[in-house]
């Protein structure tokens, strides 16, 4: 520190000496100048204010009129913000227009969305703020409203000098010219990739010199900005997995070290007349938005939750009166979905049919021609696929086996503004596998490597309807299929009229229960009773309701009446404990339905070789189909297991009778365990068809079977399931218990102990797994128990339970003691050498578990 000070002093002296020497040499040349007084001190140049409009926007400007007038001046884009647009919320939606190949990202996918707002700043500036809806107050002039404002400041993302002010004929300010070029040729997060996306793409730094604005277009209700952005990147090594995953397969980044994307940002002013909110109801499956509400007269803050839906309104009061009398009317603005011109021509009509299929549901709500699919017009310069004015089904050239249906909505009210459905090309591969594995036992058309166009087209139509349902605001209704009795799934007449599920929004893919002798022809879902009811709930127009509270009261009466019909119930997609609400299942009894499904799998498996054969090709196709079949079998096991420790969760309100939560009856839980003992723990040797396995796998299936059994045992004895069983048995001694569960499973897995039969390798493996699992329960640790909050049916409440402080270790110890006694006796009687060694080993394992010392 001292040395540093000394050095500074030396430097200072040198500077003074140098300045003095210079002064001496210049003294003779420079005349003596009078001193400058304080009043003559030069003032900093005053900040330039706005110039006359025609000096800024001159005759060289190329102007586009629209929501925001855009003036292109050389390389600059000047935005003329109308005075009436200030303080107006504007929705911005940014999407990829073009992406590098192999990165798991595709042109047309959403990148970012945000609400922004221009407002007057200080000293002739405009500010641009990012708006978030977290807390609100309806009492605009009350003290509490001010407290809300004080706690919800919105960040400033831009500060722009006003270059010119436009005035109308009366001399009033009508527009403000600002230069937004740096905002859009830069990397402002609101109009670009967020930090999470950058991280997943291994992006390091924005490359300003390799980025630019491609074009900006303005239309009456929106402004579109197309940009090219380049980043330096260090991508992960290319994966051997052929399925693209975001950021892991980027050959362009690996080759060059850079990543270039084209983005399109749409700016749309949110409605000046906001749509009335429709209060969310847990009994009907709509996506929802929410924010905190603080009211002056309330005693606590509240959360306002409202459904997400399109705005459908009559064209006139006369039409509203007609609708009230029961006549169907056309809405003022119908819902239109365009089909991406990149979609293969032969599939376009089926996608359109899937969209149009929803018309029958809207008729149930009093509308005709409320929704339709349209083909994208050719050579129309006023339309862009990324334009947020248009809802589009985008077709992606991707190996991903999926499709999805998002929406963009007004966060203030839930009004859907537009939607871009994502459709991946390989969804057809998934549809082929599903349909073949689930229905080939009854449908000869499914017994092919490649389906006929008509069958694939109808499958595409089904997926189109499902994804459009999401964009209408509908969530998955995983409880719909449980409204259909299992035996009705085999009833041809019932299936023709009703289908196997009451909602196309369920994951009830195809009817795997129907048997070859049943004559059932209708095997996949269609718009069902629940779908028609849900659209009626969300889209009925109530002319007489003056407020959302009055509307809520009308809807409540409608919903109570609808709930008398089990086919109109909603079942959340996120329940951890209700066995009626599951993906990929059908019927009201998982054990019966799965048993029928397994019968069909046993018919299908021996034919997979024939149905997948193609000369000159490897057995990769057979491998894929066999994996799909075993995956279907695993689903059946999961459907059944969820009944154990299950709780029925039926959303209720105060004015409905009965309890919301009910423990699954003991008889059903025992039926589930019996199914597992019969179909899984008693080795499913039918899965090990050597005519198939010997062509696709060097293993003969021993370890594969053990893996299935171990996975199901782990699921069956999971900590949260144990907690629910303890809770259920505590309120009623007749409910299924943890001890009874373990005894039932043990008796099934160790059936040979009573018969003295030789124990084969599959059962020896399984019995060791069981002992290991129960031994682990001697010191089970903590369990995380999840529950769905009452009234919302999405999201989770979680709590941690210390299982060491429950009866679980005690029960596990008792089970091991009983098992040891039985195993020891069986070992003494055993005549088969491997069986005897196995049983003695189990005794040793149990001894060590009970007394580690």
- Read off the pLDDT of residues 487-517 as tens digits, 9 standing for 90 and up: 999 999 999 999 999 999 999 999 999 999 9
| Signed CA dihedral, 447, 449, 454, 459: sign only | positive
Instruction: Mention every residue, 6+ apart, whose C-beta is less than 8 A from residue 209.
Output: none
> What is the average pLDDT score of the chain?
90
Ramachandran angles phi, psi of 76, nearest 5°? -100, 150
Predicted local confidence at residue 101, as pLDDT: 81
Only one residue has tokens 């369920």, namely: 506
84 inside domain: yes
What count of other Cβ atoms lies within 10 Å of the Cβ of residue 357?
21
Instruction: Mention every residue, 6+ apart, whose C-beta is less than 8 A from residue 32.
Output: none
196 inside domain: yes
Report the length, in residues, of the chain: 853
Q: Which pair of structure tokens corresponds to residue 695?
A: 């062509």
What count of other Cβ atoms lies within 10 Å of the Cβ of residue 722?
26
- Tally of domains in the chain: 1
Q: Which pair of structure tokens corresponds to residue 580?
A: 């009626």
Where helices occur in 171-221 by DSSP H, the ranges are 181-184, 195-200
Residue 252 has pLDDT above 60, yes or no: yes
**665-720: per-residue pLDDT in tens?**
999 999 999 999 999 999 999 999 999 999 999 988 999 999 999 999 999 999 99
Residue whose C-alpha is closest to residue 581's, from 501, 506, 489, 529: 506
Tell me what percent of the residues of the chain surpass a pLDDT of 90: 77
**273-304: per-residue pLDDT in tens?**
999 999 999 999 999 998 776 665 565 557 78
What count of other Cβ atoms lies within 10 Å of the Cβ of residue 813?
16
Instruction: Mention every residue, 6+ apart, whose C-beta is less than 8 A from residue 228.
Output: 211, 212, 213, 214, 260, 261, 262, 263
Predicted local confidence at residue 13, as pLDDT: 33
| Order of strands across the sheet that contains 302-307 | 135-136, 288-293, 302-307
Predicted local confidence at residue 597, as pLDDT: 98
**796-820: per-residue pLDDT in tens?**
899 999 999 999 999 999 999 999 9
Q: How far apart are CA 612 and CA 624, in angstroms?
A: 10
Residue whose C-alpha is closest to residue 91's, from 406, 474, 381, 418: 418
Predicted local confidence at residue 149, as pLDDT: 64
Residue 29 has pLDDT above 50, yes or no: no
**60-116: per-residue pLDDT in tens?**
999 999 999 999 999 999 999 999 999 999 999 999 999 888 778 888 889 999 999
Q: Which pair of structure tokens corresponds to residue 9?
A: 């002093």
Q: How far apart are CA 129 and CA 162, in angstroms?
A: 16
Predicted local confidence at residue 9, as pLDDT: 35
690 inside domain: no
Q: How far apart are CA 840 and CA 820, in angstroms?
A: 10
SS3 775: helix
Helix (H) or strand (E) holding 570: none
Q: How far apart are CA 614 and CA 449, in angstroms?
A: 9
Residue whose C-alpha is closest to residue 176's, from 190, 189, 165: 165
Mean pLDDT throughout 626-654? 97
403 - beta bridge partners?
423
95 inside domain: yes
Residue 674 CA, chain-centre distance (Å), reads 35
Predicted local confidence at residue 22, as pLDDT: 37
Q: How far apart are the first and last CA of the chain?
A: 64
Ramachandran angles phi, psi of 42, nearest 5°? -60, 135
What torsion do the CA atoms of 123, 126, 131, 135 make, to the nearest 10 degrees?
40
Instruction: Mention every residue, 6+ apart, whose C-beta is less than 8 A from residue 213.
Output: 77, 181, 184, 185, 225, 226, 227, 228
Ramachandran class of 247: left when φ > 0, alpha when ψ lies in -120 to 50, beta otherwise = left
| Structural domain range at position 72 | 68-269
Helix (H) or strand (E) holding 260: strand 258-269
Predicted local confidence at residue 17, as pLDDT: 34
Q: How far apart are CA 89 and CA 413, in angstroms?
A: 13
| Signed CA dihedral, 696, 700, 704, 705: sign only | positive
Long-range contacts of 236-240 (CB under 8 A, 24+ apart): 236/202, 238/102
406 inside domain: no
**Least confident among 106-110, 427-431, 451-455:** 106-110
Mean pLDDT throughout 327-339? 97
Predicted local confidence at residue 240, as pLDDT: 43
| Signed CA dihedral, 494, 589, 478, 548: sign only | positive
1 inside domain: no
Residue 631 has pLDDT above 60, yes or no: yes
CA distances from 364 to 328, 476, 498, 542, 675 (A): 9, 20, 17, 14, 42
718 inside domain: no
What torsion do the CA atoms of 620, 625, 626, 627 make, to the nearest 10 degrees?
90
Q: Which pair of structure tokens corresponds to residue 450?
A: 């490649």
365 - beta bridge partners?
none
């Amino acid at each position: 520190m001292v040395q540093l000070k000394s050095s500074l002093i030396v430097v200072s002296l040198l500077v003074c000496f140098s300045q003095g020497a210079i002064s001496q040499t210049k003294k003779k040349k420079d005349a003596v100048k009078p001193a400058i007084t304080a009043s003559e001190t030069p003032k900093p140049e005053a900040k330039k204010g706005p110039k006359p409009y025609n000096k800024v926007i001159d005759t060289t400007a190329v102007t586009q009129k629209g929501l925001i007038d855009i003036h292109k001046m050389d390389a600059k884009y000047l935005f003329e913000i109308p005075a009436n647009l200030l303080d107006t919320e504007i929705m911005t939606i940014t999407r990829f227009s073009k992406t590098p190949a192999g990165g798991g990202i595709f042109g047309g996918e959403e990148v970012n969305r945000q609400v922004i707002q221009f407002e007057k700043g200080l000293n002739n500036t405009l500010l641009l703020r990012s708006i978030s809806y977290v807390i609100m107050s309806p009492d605009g002039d009350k003290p509490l409203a001010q407290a809300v404002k004080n706690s919800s400041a919105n960040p400033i993302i831009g500060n722009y000098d006003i270059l010119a002010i436009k005035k109308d004929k009366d001399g009033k300010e009508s527009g403000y010219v600002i230069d937004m070029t740096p905002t859009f040729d830069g990397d402002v997060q609101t109009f670009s990739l967020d930090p999470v996306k950058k991280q997943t793409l291994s992006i390091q730094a924005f490359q300003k010199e390799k980025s630019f604005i491609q074009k900006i277009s303005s239309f009456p209700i929106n402004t579109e900005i197309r940009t090219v952005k380049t980043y330096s990147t260090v991508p992960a090594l290319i994966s051997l997995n052929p399925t693209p995953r975001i950021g892991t397969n980027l050959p362009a980044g690996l080759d060059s070290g850079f990543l270039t994307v084209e983005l399109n940002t749409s700016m749309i002013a949110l409605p000046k007349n906001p749509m009335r909110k429709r209060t969310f109801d847990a009994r009907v499956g709509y996506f929802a938005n929410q924010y905190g509400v603080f009211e002056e007269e309330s005693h606590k803050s509240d959360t306002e939750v409202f459904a997400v839906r399109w705005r459908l309104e009559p064209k006139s009061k006369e039409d509203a009166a007609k609708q009230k009398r029961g006549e169907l009317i056309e809405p003022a603005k119908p819902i239109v979905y365009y089909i991406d011109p990149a979609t293969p021509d032969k599939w376009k009509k089926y996608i359109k049919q899937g969209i149009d299929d929803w018309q029958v549901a809207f008729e149930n709500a009093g509308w005709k021609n409320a929704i339709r699919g349209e083909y994208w017009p050719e050579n129309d310069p006023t339309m862009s696929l990324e334009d947020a004015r248009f809802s589009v089904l985008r077709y992606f050239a991707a190996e991903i086996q999926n499709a999805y249906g998002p929406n963009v909505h007004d966060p203030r009210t839930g009004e859907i503004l537009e939607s871009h459905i994502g459709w991946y090309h390989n969804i057809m591969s998934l549809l082929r596998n599903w349909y073949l594995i689930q229905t080939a036992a009854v449908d000869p058309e499914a017994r092919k490597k490649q389906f006929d166009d008509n069958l694939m087209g109808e499958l595409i139509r089904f997926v189109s309807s499902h994804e459009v349902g999401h964009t209408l605001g509908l969530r998955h209704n995983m409880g719909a299929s449980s409204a259909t009795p299992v035996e009705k799934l085999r009833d041809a007449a019932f299936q023709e009229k009703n289908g196997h599920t009451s909602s196309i929004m369920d994951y009830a893919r195809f009817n795997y229960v129907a048997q070859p002798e049943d004559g059932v022809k209708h095997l996949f879902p269609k718009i069902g009773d629940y779908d028609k009811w849900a659209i009626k709930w969300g889209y009925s127009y109530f002319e007489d309701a003056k407020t959302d509270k009055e509307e809520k009261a009308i809807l409540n009466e409608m919903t109570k009446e609808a709930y008398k019909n089990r086919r109109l119930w909603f079942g959340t997609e996120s329940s951890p404990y209700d066995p009626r609400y599951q993906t990929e299942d059908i019927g009201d009894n998982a054990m019966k339905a799965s048993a029928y499904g397994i019968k069909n799998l046993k018919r299908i498996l021996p034919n997979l070789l024939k149905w997948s054969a193609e000369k000159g090709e490897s057995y990769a196709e057979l491998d894929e189909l066999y994996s799909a079949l075993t995956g279907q079998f695993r689903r059946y096991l999961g459907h059944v297991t969820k009944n154990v420790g299950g709780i029925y969760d039926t959303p209720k309100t105060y004015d409905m009778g009965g309890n919301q939560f009910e423990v699954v009856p003991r008889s059903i839980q025992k039926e589930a365990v019996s199914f597992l003992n019969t179909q899984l723990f008693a080795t499913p040797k039918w899965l090990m068809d050597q005519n198939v396995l010997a062509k696709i796998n060097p293993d003969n299936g021993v370890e594969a079977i053990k893996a299935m059994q171990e996975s199901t045992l782990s699921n069956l004895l999971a900590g949260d399931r144990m907690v629910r069983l303890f809770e259920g048995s505590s309120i009623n001694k007749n409910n299924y218990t943890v001890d009874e569960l373990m005894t039932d499973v043990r008796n099934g897995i160790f059936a040979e102990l009573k018969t003295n039969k030789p124990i084969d390798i599959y059962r020896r493996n399984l019995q060791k797994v069981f002992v290991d699992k129960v031994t682990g329960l001697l010191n089970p640790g903590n369990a995380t128990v999840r529950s769905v909050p009452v009234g919302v049916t999405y999201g989770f409440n979680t709590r941690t339970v210390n299982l060491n402080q429950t009866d679980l270790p005690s029960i596990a110890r008792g089970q091991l003691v009983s098992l040891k006694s039985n195993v020891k006796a069986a070992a003494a009687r055993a005549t088969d050498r491997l069986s005897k060694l196995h049983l003695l080993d189990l005794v040793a394992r149990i001894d060590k578990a009970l007394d580690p010392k």
